[in-house]
Every structure is written in structure tokens, then in C-alpha cells.
Structure 1
Amino acid sequence: MKIWILNAVALKPNESGITRHYDLAQGMKKKGHDIRIFASSFLVYHFKWRDPNRKNYSENVNGVWFEWLWNLPYKGNGVKRVFNMISYFIMVLFRGLFSKENPDVVVGSSVHLFACLAGYFLARWKKAAYIVELRDLWPRTLIDFGAMSEKHPAAIMFGAIEKFVYKKADRIIVTLPGAVDYIESFGVKRENIYVISNGIDLERRYEIDYGTPIKSELEQIRKKHKKIAMYVGAHGMANALHSIVDTAKEMDPEQVAFVFVGDGPEKEILRKASEGYNHIYFFEPVAKKEVMATLAEADVLIVSMLNTKLYRFGISLNKLNDYLLSGKPILFAGNVYNNIVEMANAGVTVEPENKEAMKNGLDNLLSLTNEEREEIKESSFKYVSAHHDIEKLADKFIEACQTNKEEGNKHESTYA
């Protein structure tokens, strides 16, 4: 099959962030399928151009074609962000409409729903199957985070697009296992909903040999503090990193250092909140191939979530796949539909945004014996290989794309 994937924020494998579609494309390519990903050439998480000298171009990345599209640049979270989404919608329609290639399947993938909407028109023009992929539930995510009310014009607009694409999709892929009932409430048949979580290439466990660019700094940190608790990932509001900083302030500096690796809009706020505490450290993001070696330097890894009802639909965090593959004990502060850390027996779960609970959980993990740490490592790998192996998820993605619109979709719901 020829599959087009519309994802405005898709990334290449050497870039820091979510590479879901490249990873899936590699798995599908091995099965003989051709994948083309339409993405923005403006990096919205960094508010900069991928290549300042080129805005519209094609690139072959290890056999996966990326169509980079000019999108309206912006900063912050104002009205220009919506115009950026609309510009993606227009540009991807233009590029796709005039492409000589005729895909068998068009997948419109959120974060934002304009990618899903564009997927509908391209699928109809190209007479292809139309798949909607949901990695966030817009506008429900924005409403539950308190970013806007139910009656906000943007919420109404996204709500209308949401209903439209659900109705028109031949099938729907969602990364959140708890969202099936929500999507079904829009009249979507349950058998047309596939739950395909984010995954990881299990071969990445060998990337520890690449080393980490912050190794010397971490060695110096370990000379000052007995152990290292680490967070690697985005520094955004949803990551609730303020909870980790507040917990760090309650911990003995001689016993443990807190290391944050990554970038995001909350980073400078967190830095300022950590002033005067010499056991809290911040580092720039590392390349994807350096993540495993970076995680290997930690004694405990931390994931912190907001205490919000949004996670009643579940989570599918890429960082958790990295954490599990590293085999390190995980402190998970969250209240979610699918507690992956608990299911994998990979660490300790505590109440989110509760520094006392996080402190107690961290004390527990820092005092594990070598035998207990080895048990966690084995259990983590067993779970991630069973449920998040990118090769297996690519097979599920292919199955979801194999629709027969004339005969209908007569299969059982597939969960991964």
C-alpha cells in the first residue's frame, strides 16, 4: 500500500521529540509498504524553521519520504497558533492535490484537527481510504486542562471538526485506550476503532554505546550527591515538573541530586524556582540516539503528571517507553486509566502533585537492593516488548489501514 500520513509535528529520527510516524513507517516499509509523511517545516515546539534556507521541499529519510511544508511561523499560544494550523491545512491540500502519486490510504493525525480535516479532502480527491488518528482529544484536552471553556469559539470550532471527521472516517486509530467509549459516543462503531499506542524499537537498548554528551557533568554531580533522580523529556505545563522541583526541595542534597534533561516553555520558570538549591540541575535536550545512555546514568527515573480528569482516557507517553527499555526504577506520579508503570511492575506509583507522596516514593526506590532493581529491569523489558514493540504496532497500523469501504469493516476491535 501507499500510505500518506498527515502530521504537522512529525519529526526525523535524529530530532528530539516524538518520532512515532517515522518509527511506524520503518516497520511498515519492511513489509513492502510506501510511506509519505506531510509535516511542517516550522518546528512549533521550538518556534524556529527546521532549515532557514528551505521551507517547501521533499526529503528521503532512510526510505521514508517527508514532505516539508511552509507554515505560518508564530510564538506563544495566541491566535497565530490557530493560523499556523490553518496554514498547514491549506499547504498540505495544495501539495497533496498536485502530487502525481495516488495513495491507497490517507491518515490525518492530530495533535491538531486541521490535519484530520485535510486528510478527509485528500482521501476523497485521491479516492483513498480515510483514516483518522487521534493522539490527543481536541477540544477535550484543551477544556480539561482549563485552557478554554466549552463555549470558547475555538472549542466550538474544534468540536465541529471533531464530529465531522469521526463521522467521515473509515476507521479511527487512537493512542489512548480509555478513549474508545468517548469516540463511540459520537456514533462511531466500536469495531472501527483501533487502539495503537506509541512504541519503541527494541534495538534501541543497544544505543547505550553511543554515550551521553553530559557524562562528565553527571560524573561531577555524582561526586557531590550519592544518587541521581532524573527526568528526560519535554518541559511543559502538562509535565507537572513543578511537583518534582517541590519534592527536590524536601530531599537531602547529600543523598540525591535531581537532573532535568530537555526543553520547553516551563524550563526557565523551573530554573528560577530552583535557585538556591545546589542539588537541582538542568541540561539541554540530548539527541534521540543518546537518550538510552543518558537514562543509564540515573538511579531513578521520574514521570510527573497533572492531577486532572483528562487522564481518565489514558496515556501513551514516549518517555515511558524509553524509561521501560532502560530498565531503571520509575517513580510515577499520576492518576491515569492505564497505569503502565504498575502493569509493568516497573516502580512505584504515587498521587500526582503531592510532594510528600513523591518524597516517600522516591525514598522507597532509592533504597532498593540490587536484586530488586534487577527484577524491575527484567519485568520492564518483558512488558515493553509485549505491548510497545514498534514492529508489532506497525503490523496493527497496517491492519487498520486495510479497509474495504464497499464491504464494510467486519473485524473485531484491535488493542495494542
Structure 2
Amino acid sequence: MKIWILNHVALKPSETGITRHYDIANELVKQKHEVTIFASSFLAYRYVFRNRRKTNYTENVNGVLFEWMWTLPYKGNGILRVFNMISYFFMALWRGLLSKEKPDAVVGSSVHLFACLAAYVLSRFKKATYIVEIRDLWPQTLIDLGKMSKRHPAVLLFGMLEKFVCRRADQIIVTLPGAVDYLRNLGIAEDKIHVIPNGIVMNREKEKSRPSPLAQSLSLLKKKHGKLAMYVGSHGDANALHTVIESAKFLSESEVALILIGDGPMKESLQKAAKAYSHVYFFDSIPKKAVLSTLCLADVLLISMRDAPLYQYGMSLNKLNDYMLCGKPILFAGNVANDIVTEAKAGLTIAPERPGAFADGLRSLLSLSEEELQEIAATSYAYVNDHHNIERLAQRFLAICSYKEAYPEDEEAVPCQLSISKWGSRQ
């Protein structure tokens, strides 16, 4: 079958960040399906074009086709970011309508809803199944994390878009388990909503034995401070890394070094805040293939989240899959509907945005016995394999894309019922 996926910020496997759709597509290509991903050639997390010599081109990555499209450059979270989203909408339409290919399914995936809207238009022109994938709840994210009023024009606009695309979708995929209730409250039929969380390629476990580009630096820090607590990921407002920084005042230099690896809009301000502490260290982003080997150099892995109502709908963090595959104990500061760290017995969960409690939790995990560490590694691996194995998630994705409905001109056709009862819409 032929599937088009519209994801503004989709990435190749060699790039730093979420590669959800490449990973799913790669599994489907192995099964002789054809998958094309329509994505921006402008890297939003670095604010640069991935290829300065060309901005509109096609690239074959291990059988997965990427249609890289120019979108308006921007920096920050101002009005240019909205124009960047709108430019993606028009570019996706242009590239899709020019293509002679007729996909069987068109998937529109948020971050933003203009991608879902473009997928709707293309699905109607191509007479394809229309799938909406909601990975971020817009406009709820703008209200809870962006601190916007419910009457803000952007909130009203995305609210209308959200209802429009979801009500017209043949099937809806969500990454958050609580999003089922969220969409049901919008009047969306629950039987067409299906949870597919972010997954991980399990054979990436072999990457643990690769040399880390930070091995020498981290070895020196371990000699100096004794143990390492590490965060790898985006440095954004939602990550609440100020909690990690401020916990340093409750921890001595001889106990642990706090290591933050990655980039993001909050990094500069975090570095300024960390100048007061000599055991907090920052490193730039590392290649994805080096993530697991770097994580394995830590004694404890860190996740911090904002204390926001948004997380009543749950979470699906890519970094958490990496952490659990690594098998080191995880300190999770968050208040979420699906507490995966507790479910997987992968570490310790504490209240968010409380630096003192964060320090206490870290100290507790640093004192675990070898037997306890081995048990955490085993239960973490089992959980991620059972719930986030990308091979299994790709089959769910394919089942949803295989849904068919009768078009008006095909009066004799009978809609097929999607048979996915064994995994359902809740997990």
C-alpha cells in the first residue's frame, strides 16, 4: 500500500530528535509498502536549512522517500513561526497535487494542525483514506504551556482547526492515552481513536557498545565528582530544566555532577542560572547513534517536566524510551496521567518543579545496590519491549491506514471495519 505522511518536523535517522515517522515507515518499507514523508527542509530546532544549496528536493533514505519542502525561516515563537506553519500548508499542497502518485492513505500529523488540514485536502483530491495523528494537543498546549488566554486569536484558530480535521478524519491516532477522553469531549466518536505511543527500534541496543564522543570528558567529571546524573534532550520551557539546575544547591560537589546534553531555546538562560554551581555541566547535542552509549556512562538519568494541567492527558516521551533501553535508573519529576517510570519499575517519580525533592530523589537513586540496579535494567527493558517496540507499533499504524470507506461515487462499495480489538483505543 502507498502511504503519505505529512509531518512538518520529520527527521532522518541520522538527525537529532524524534524520528517516529521514519522508524514506522522503515518497518513498513521492509514489508514492501511505499511510504513518502512530506517535511520541511528548515530545521526548526536549529533555525537553519538542512541543505543550504537546495530547499525543495526528494531524498531516498533506506527506501523511505522524504519530500523536503521550503518553509519560511524563523527564530523564536513569534508571528513568523505561525507563517512558517502556513507556508508548510501551501507547500505540502503544491508538492502533493503535482505528484501523479495516488496514495491509499494520507496521514496528517501535528505538531501543528495545518499539516492535518493539508492532509485533508490532499486525501480528498487523491480519494485516499484520511488519517489524523495528534501528537500535541493544540490549542490546549498553547493555553497550559504557552499561558495564552482561551480567547487569544491563535487559540481560537487552532481550536476551530482541531475540530474541523478531527471530525472529518476516517481514523485518528493519538500518542497520549488521555487524548481519547480529550477528543471524546470534542464530540469525536471514541471507536475511531487509537493510541500509538512513540516507539523505539529495539535492535538499537547494540549502540550501547559504541564509543561515546563525550566519553573522555565524562570520565574526567566522574573522577572529580564521583557520580553522574544526566539529562539528554531538548532544552525548552516544557522540560523544566530549572528544577535540575536549582537542585544543585542541595547536592554537594563530591556527590554528583549534573550533566545536561542538548540544545533548545532555554539553554542560554539555563547556563546563566547554572553559573552559581560548579557541578553543573552543559554539552551540545550529540548524534542519535551516540545517545545510548552516552546514557550508559551515567549513574542516574533525569527527566523534569512542568507542573501543568496538560499532562492530565499523559505523555509519550522519546527520551524515556532511550532511557529505559539503556537500563539505568530514572528520576522522573512530573505529574502525568500515565506514570511510565512507576509502571515499568524503572526508577523514582517525584512531584514536578521542586528542586529540594529532586535532590532527595537523586540521592536515593545514587545509593541503590547492584542487585537493585540490575532489577531496574531488567524491568525497564521488558516494559519498553512490550509497549514501545517499533515493529509492533508499525503494524498498528498500518492497520489504521488500511481502513477503507466508500466514496460517494462508489455506491456499491462497503466500508471495511477496522479490526484492532486486541489493542483497542486505550492502553
Cα deviation 1:122-158 (Å, max 9, x = unaligned): 0000000000000001011111114311111111111
Which residue does the alignment assign to 1:359?
Answer: 359
CA distance in 1, matches of 2:146, 2:265: 17
Superposed counterparts of 1:306-345, under 5 Å: 306-345=306-345
Which residue does the alignment assign to 2:217?
Answer: 217
Which residue does the alignment assign to 2:410?
Answer: none
CA distance in 2, matches of 1:408, 1:184: 23
Matched residue of 1:275: which SS?
A: helix
Contact 1:261 1:285 in 2 (8 A): yes
Superposed counterparts of 1:166-315, under 5 Å: 166-315=166-315
Superposed counterparts of 1:29-68, under 5 Å: 29-68=29-68
Which residue does the alignment assign to 1:113?
Answer: 113
Contact 1:196 1:415 in 2 (8 A): no
**CA drift at 1:234:** 0.3
Matched residue of 1:200: which SS?
A: coil
Matched residue of 1:328: which SS?
A: coil
**CA drift at 1:31:** 2.1
1:258 maps to amino acid: L
1:79 maps to amino acid: I
Cα deviation 1:22-46 (Å, max 9, x = unaligned): 0011111122211100000001111
Contact 2:245 2:270 in 1 (8 A): yes
Q: % of aligned pairs identical?
A: 57
**CA drift at 1:404:** 1.9
Contact 1:109 1:134 in 2 (8 A): yes
Report which stretch shifted further, 378-387 or 29-38.
29-38
**CA drift at 1:408:** 5.6
Matched residue of 1:177: which SS?
A: coil
Tell me: CA distance 1:48–1:410, structure 2 relative to 1, closer, same or farther (3 Å): closer
**CA drift at 1:271:** 0.6
How many corresponding residue pairs? 416
CA distance in 1, matches of 2:191, 2:341: 28
Cα deviation 1:246-284 (Å, max 9, x = unaligned): 002210111100000000011111111011321110001
Cα deviation 1:74-132 (Å, max 9, x = unaligned): 11111111110000000000000010111000000000000000000000000000000
Cα deviation 1:148-174 (Å, max 9, x = unaligned): 111111111111110100111000000
Contact 2:134 2:175 in 1 (8 A): yes
Contact 1:8 1:115 in 2 (8 A): yes
Which residue does the alignment assign to 1:94?
Answer: 94
2:291 maps to amino acid: V
Which residue does the alignment assign to 2:382?
Answer: 382
Contact 2:23 2:201 in 1 (8 A): yes
Cα deviation 1:210-246 (Å, max 9, x = unaligned): 2111111001101101100000000000000000000
Cα deviation 1:330-352 (Å, max 9, x = unaligned): 00000001000000000000000
CA distance in 2, matches of 1:146, 1:218: 35
2:361 maps to amino acid: G
Contact 1:166 1:186 in 2 (8 A): no
2:223 maps to amino acid: K
CA distance in 2, matches of 1:414, 1:396: 11
Which residue does the alignment assign to 1:161?
Answer: 161
Which residue does the alignment assign to 1:131?
Answer: 131
Structure 2 stretches lacking a partner, 5+ long: 407-414
CA distance in 2, matches of 1:69, 1:134: 22
Which residue does the alignment assign to 1:81?
Answer: 81
Contact 2:109 2:115 in 1 (8 A): yes
Over the residues paired in the alignment, what is the CA RMSD in angstroms?
A: 1.0
* TM-score scaled by length of structure 2: 0.96
CA distance in 2, matches of 1:139, 1:239: 19
Contact 2:350 2:361 in 1 (8 A): yes
CA distance in 2, matches of 1:26, 1:186: 33
1:322 maps to amino acid: D
1:209 maps to amino acid: S
CA distance in 2, matches of 1:408, 1:171: 12
1:345 maps to amino acid: K
**CA drift at 1:58:** 0.1
1:206 maps to amino acid: K
1:164 maps to amino acid: F
Report which stretch shifted further, 351-360 or 166-175.
351-360
Tell me: CA distance 1:51–1:146, structure 2 relative to 1, closer, same or farther (3 Å): closer
CA distance in 2, matches of 1:393, 1:296: 26
1:118 maps to amino acid: A
CA distance in 2, matches of 1:268, 1:274: 10
1:80 maps to amino acid: L
Contact 2:180 2:425 in 1 (8 A): no
Which residue does the alignment assign to 2:150?
Answer: 150
CA distance in 1, matches of 2:209, 2:375: 23
1:373 maps to amino acid: L
1:106 maps to amino acid: V
CA distance in 2, matches of 1:147, 1:241: 18
CA distance in 1, matches of 2:355, 2:186: 39
Structure 1 consecutive aligned stretches of length 4 or more whose deviation exceeds 6 Å? none
1:4 aligns with 2:9: no
Contact 1:247 1:355 in 2 (8 A): yes
Which residue does the alignment assign to 2:19?
Answer: 19
**CA drift at 1:357:** 1.2
